[in-house]
Structure 1
Amino acid sequence: MLIFDADDTLWENNVIFERVIDEFLEWMTRPGLDRGGVRAVLDEIEAANAVTHGYGSKVFLRSLGECVARLRGRTVTAEESARISRWAAAFDGHRVELIPGVAETLAELARRHALLLLTKGDTEEQERKVTASGLTRHF
């Protein structure tokens, strides 16, 4: 039996988060608050939310909203909330970029082993990604 994690093992995942973070940092950076400062606040919020709410894009987007509120010292406006919501499309799970060689490797391994998928991500989100990946038959 072989056990796999999916995100960043079978398909690209972190690069999507990093692209969104880059856009977020660009948006939030202002005089007196550089990218590093914004990132430090976001990292702190993400760490706390991971303990309370787990992992996944929904928690990440929540963290972005909390970061805006903390940095601006007020409740997030409807416009800011809408901007954060637009980033949700990056995580919709309708398309997944497999890491090169994964499909072939899993096909070969499945001939000799039972393959299991174990993830700490949001169940619904992970199921969408597995379906979109075309790898469901292996697990």
Structure 2
Amino acid sequence: MKLSASFVLMLASLTNITLGATLGGLMVPRAADDSNDDCANLGGPMPKSNLPEGVIANDVRKCAGHPLGSQDKDVNARDCWTGSPYGCTDGYCWKVCGSFGEWCWTAANKGKGAWLTCSHYTDCHETDFCGGKCSC
């Protein structure tokens, strides 16, 4: 079966397949960009070596920092909190992790995976893992 050049171009745009210069055939899809430039403002890339036991390496998030900022940046500093052991703020789960109201954003995969999201505080749990530093 011979495919027209316009059909191949349409297929390529729908599937993000890189085409050869002559459109004579389809090439292997280009690998996803593994550049860490988009992590520059999110604490850099998440380390993927020396992971704790039980962490699934393929489910480690790309960037170390939280999208809403980390507690240790002045611009995103948040107060210590003793009003509840956990909660939901702007769609993300957090929990208190220190004796004086220190807290952390929580994440899946023993704290190394995707940031836990929520629409209500009951979506979050005190037993969730911290995804970063415990501070305020």
Q: TM-score, normalised by structure 1?
A: 0.21
Higher RCO, 1 or 2 (CA under 8 Å, sep at least 6)?
1
Higher fraction of helix:
1
More strand by share: 2
Please give the TM-score of this superposition, normalised by the length of structure 2: 0.21
- The structure with more radius of gyration: 2
